[in-house]
């Protein structure tokens, strides 16, 4: 929804009987005037039923007012149009190029290598061109960011005069400020590093929107800064950008830079004694030789004797990056929890220790840009699972944990991930916590929003695609006679993304097969998040954390 003027909204919705796509999203965009019902609103944009979603929006920047419509064909492809002379004019780019605009600039981020007039721009690059010039046919680009094997662009945000780039360098944040008014030695926009990113933290900068201001029709150069880490509570800061001498200028070929100042607005409370723990980053080697990073959060006096209860988390899909983030629940219910009577394999006296928390940055995610995601798409989905298993083995080989002390947890697509750990790598884990999961990949497109994920997984109704999809469908991979880890499957009746059916079927089949220690919980509320308020979230976390702790930190660590 966006305002067209004081009495008119642009809306894309399925409410009041407006049509929906096969993915259950809005199929039309309407112009809703004050006093009208949605049924009375003028339909101004419509997409085919088998496309994913329609959007309509208004850019009200003074002097650069534009109306846009977006036809999201699938999760990764779209067509963007601008309204000209009461007709939609499609912007001529490949459907996998992400577009955005700011004042006179049109921005491009290709998801695959893009060849324009003999020049190839790598996937994950960021380009800029004059908006009107591009529409008229010129292809004069300024390259604003080019990825490398360590650095990827995660997002960007415009203040009035500057462009903020949120980057990841080996999954640690880096923020660059670009100034279109200044040129570097190559003719590009002058770039300055924002001195705000500690190692192994997630820090993102966003422009203070003009709607956040009490007055003014156009945005200024203030920005929000949101910082967090595994042992750093989330902190909100506000800063201002201005021309000036900067010690972090990236290119010596231009003078000056962008000066910045920022101050803390508010910090979240601390929920555990963070000073007792340290964050490390390690790299495992996957089956095909790919280097896979992971974060480890553990006590500073961690013993590498293979006896530490360890929780391994991952996602690996939809170009979603798993970055450092503070969690009071992990701190209190896992890191600080103590279990009496852990008995080492060598027969020595039982002892007490806390947990280790690990986040794996596997392929399918966005930590290294579109190519990292594309490497685990559809027929290559197994790469994500091989990466996760490689991290598990690396933890074991380093002496952090052992299979009987190692558990994994994931939700949604992460539920599919840990469902494959359960069925394909059961020997590596002592317990699996699987939430709001995709598990029956034969029918996922028929359930809730599943049709919209065909671009990620493939279409099981196409026989040649089902041949590879069935190799990562946990429901179909269950076998008799396998010693499976203890399993907790949880979902919500109100989940309108994946739905509860797949979780129910998986738990029922495992129990019917006589597999011991299979637990199932279905909440009525909570939707796809599994919880709709803090009380429900606390209950959900307590169940999952307690299940893992009981299974992994028992006196003898036995599986069953």
pLDDT tens string 31-52? 999 999 999 999 999 999 999 9
* Residue 88 in tokens: 């939609």
Q: Is the pLDDT of residue 278 over 50?
A: yes
Mean pLDDT over the full length of the chain: 93
Give CA–CA dist 105/128, Å, rounded: 6
Given pLDDT bands bounded at 50, 70 and 90, which one contains residue 353? Answer: confident
Cα angle value 74/80/86 (rounded, 5°) = 135
Share of the chain above pLDDT 90, in %: 89
**467 touches 378 (CB < 8 A):** no
* Residue 300 in tokens: 């500073």
**39 touches 16 (CB < 8 A):** yes
Q: Which phi and psi angles does 470 have, rounded to 5°? A: -65, -20
pLDDT in tens, 5-34: 999 999 999 999 999 999 999 999 999 999
DSSP 332: I
pLDDT in tens, 466-492: 999 999 999 999 999 999 999 999 999
Query: Tokens 């027969």 correspond to what residue?
Result: 347
Which of these is catalytic: 191, 260, 412, 433? 412
Q: What residues contact residue 390 under an 8 Å CB cut-off, 6+ apart?
A: 284, 285, 286, 287, 292
6-20, 114-128, 259-273, 282-296: least confident range: 259-273
Q: Strands 66-74 and 53-59, how do they pair?
A: antiparallel
Q: What residues contact residue 467 under an 8 Å CB cut-off, 6+ apart?
A: none
Which of these is catalytic: 201, 262, 394, 528? 528
* Residue 131 in tokens: 């908006």
pLDDT in tens, 500-538: 999 999 999 999 999 999 999 999 999 999 988 999 999
Name the residue with higher pLDDT: 26 or 341: 26
Q: Strands 163-169 and 151-158, how do they pair?
A: antiparallel
How distant, in Å, are the alpha carbons of 23, 165, 282, 376, 544 from that of 417? 22, 30, 21, 12, 16
Give CA–CA dist 293/296, Å, rounded: 10
Sign for the pseudo-dihedral over CA of 449, 454, 442, 366: negative
R_g over Cα of the chain: 25
* Residue 488 in tokens: 């907790």
**558 touches 431 (CB < 8 A):** no
Give CA–CA dist 519/539, Å, rounded: 16
State the CB neighbour count (10 A cutoff) for residue 110: 22
pLDDT in tens, 414-470: 999 999 999 999 999 999 999 999 999 999 999 999 999 999 999 999 999 999 999
Cα angle value 70/177/268 (rounded, 5°) = 85
Residue 528 among the catalytic residues: yes
Helices marked H in 91-181: 131-135
* Residue 248 in tokens: 């972090």
Q: What is the pLDDT of residue 243?
A: 85
Q: Is the pLDDT of residue 245 over 80?
A: no
State the CB neighbour count (10 A cutoff) for residue 136: 8
Residue 102 among the catalytic residues: no
Q: Which phi and psi angles does 361 have, rounded to 5°? A: -100, 70
Q: Strands 222-229 and 486-492, how do they pair?
A: unpaired
Helix (H) or strand (E) holding 481: none
Q: What is the pLDDT of residue 136?
A: 97
DSSP 114: E
70-74, 194-198, 210-214: least confident range: 210-214
Closest CA to 230 of 167, 298, 166: 298
**493 touches 500 (CB < 8 A):** yes
Per-residue burial over 179-216, b = 16 or more CB atoms within 10 Å of its CB, e = otherwise: bbebebeeebbbbbbbebbeebbbbbbbbbebeeeeee
What percentage of the chain's residues is helix, strand, coil (to nearest 5)? 20, 35, 40
In 135-257, DSSP assigns E strands to: 142-145, 151-158, 163-169, 172-183, 189-193, 202-207, 222-229, 232-243
Q: Which domains does the chain have, with CATH numbers?
A: 147-269 (no CATH), 275-552 (3.40.50.1820)
**157 touches 221 (CB < 8 A):** no
**Which pTM does this prediction carry?**
0.94
Q: Is the pLDDT of residue 257 over 80?
A: no
State the CB neighbour count (10 A cutoff) for residue 540: 21
Give CA–CA dist 147/331, Å, rounded: 34
Q: What residues contact residue 383 under an 8 Å CB cut-off, 6+ apart?
A: 286, 288, 290, 363, 364, 375, 376
Give CA–CA dist 302/355, Å, rounded: 10
Closest CA to 153 of 117, 100, 85, 115: 100
Per-residue H/E/C for 30-79: EEEECCCCHHHCEEEEECCCCCCEEEEEEECCCCCCEEEEEEEEECCEEE
| DSSP states along 495-546 | -SSS-SHHHHHHHHHHHHTT-SSEEEEEESS-GGGT-SSHHHHHHHHHHHHH
């Amino acid at each position: 929804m966006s305002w067209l003027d004081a009495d008119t909204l642009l809306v894309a919705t399925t409410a009041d009987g407006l049509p929906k796509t096969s993915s259950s999203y809005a199929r039309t965009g309407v112009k809703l005037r004050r006093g009208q019902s949605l049924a009375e609103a003028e339909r101004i944009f419509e997409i085919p039923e088998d496309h994913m979603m329609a959007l309509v929006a208004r850019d009200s920047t003074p002097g650069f007012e534009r109306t846009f419509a977006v036809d999201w064909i699938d999760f990764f492809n779209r067509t963007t149009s601008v309204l000209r002379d009461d007709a939609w004019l499609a912007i001529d780019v490949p459907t996998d190029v992400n577009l955005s605009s700011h004042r006179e600039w049109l921005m491009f981020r290709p998801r695959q290598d893009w060849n324009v007039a003999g020049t190839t721009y790598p996937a994950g690059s960021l380009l800029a061109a004059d908006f009107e010039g591009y529409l008229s046919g010129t292809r004069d680009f300024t390259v604003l960011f080019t990825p490398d094997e360590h650095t990827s662009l995660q997002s960007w945000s415009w203040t009035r005069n500057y462009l903020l780039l949120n980057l990841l360098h080996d999954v640690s944040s880096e923020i660059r400020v670009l100034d279109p008014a200044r040129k570097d030695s190559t003719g590009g926009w002058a770039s300055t590093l924002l001195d705000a990113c500690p190692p192994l933290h997630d820090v993102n900068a966003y422009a203070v929107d003009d709607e956040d201001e009490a007055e003014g029709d156009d945005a200024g150069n203030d920005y929000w800064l949101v910082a967090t880490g595994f042992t750093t509570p989330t902190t909100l800061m506000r800063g201002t950008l201005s021309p000036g001498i900067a010690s972090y200028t990236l290119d010596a070929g231009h003078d000056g830079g962008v000066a910045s100042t920022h101050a803390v607005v508010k910090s979240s409370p601390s929920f555990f004694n963070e000073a007792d723990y340290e964050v490390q980053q390690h790299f495992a080697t996957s089956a095909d030789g790919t280097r896979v990073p992971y974060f480890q959060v553990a006590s500073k006096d961690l013993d590498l004797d293979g006896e530490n209860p360890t929780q391994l988390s991952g996602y690996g899909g939809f170009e979603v990056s798993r970055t450092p983030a503070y969690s009071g629940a992990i701190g209190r219910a896992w890191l600080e929890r103590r279990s009496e009577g852990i008995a080492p394999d060598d027969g020595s006296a039982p002892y007490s220790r806390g947990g280790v928390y690990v986040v794996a940055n596997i392929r399918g995610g966005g930590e290294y840009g579109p190519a990292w995601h594309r490497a685990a798409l559809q027929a290559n989905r197994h790469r994500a699972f091989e990466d996760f298993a490689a991290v598990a083995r690396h933890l074991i080989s380093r002496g952090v944990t052992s299979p009987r002390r190692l558990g994994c947890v994931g939700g949604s697509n992460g539920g599919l991930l840990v469902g494959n750990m359960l069925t394909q790598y059961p020997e590596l884990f002592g317990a699996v916590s699987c939430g709001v999961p995709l598990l029956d990949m034969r029918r996922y497109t028929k359930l809730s929003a599943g049709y919209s994920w065909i671009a990620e997984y493939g279409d099981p109704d196409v026989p040649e695609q089902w041949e590879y999809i069935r190799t990562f469908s946990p429901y179909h991979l269950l076998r008799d006679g396998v010693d499976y880890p203890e399993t907790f499957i949880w979902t919500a009746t109100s989940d309108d993304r994946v739905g509860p059916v797949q979780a129910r079927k998986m738990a029922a089949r495992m129990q019917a097969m006589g597999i011991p220690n299979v637990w199932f919980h279905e909440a009525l509320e909570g939707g796809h998040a599994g919880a709709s308020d803090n009380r429900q979230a606390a209950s959900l976390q307590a169940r999952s954390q307690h299940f893992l702790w009981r299974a992994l930190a028992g006196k003898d660590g036995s599986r069953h």
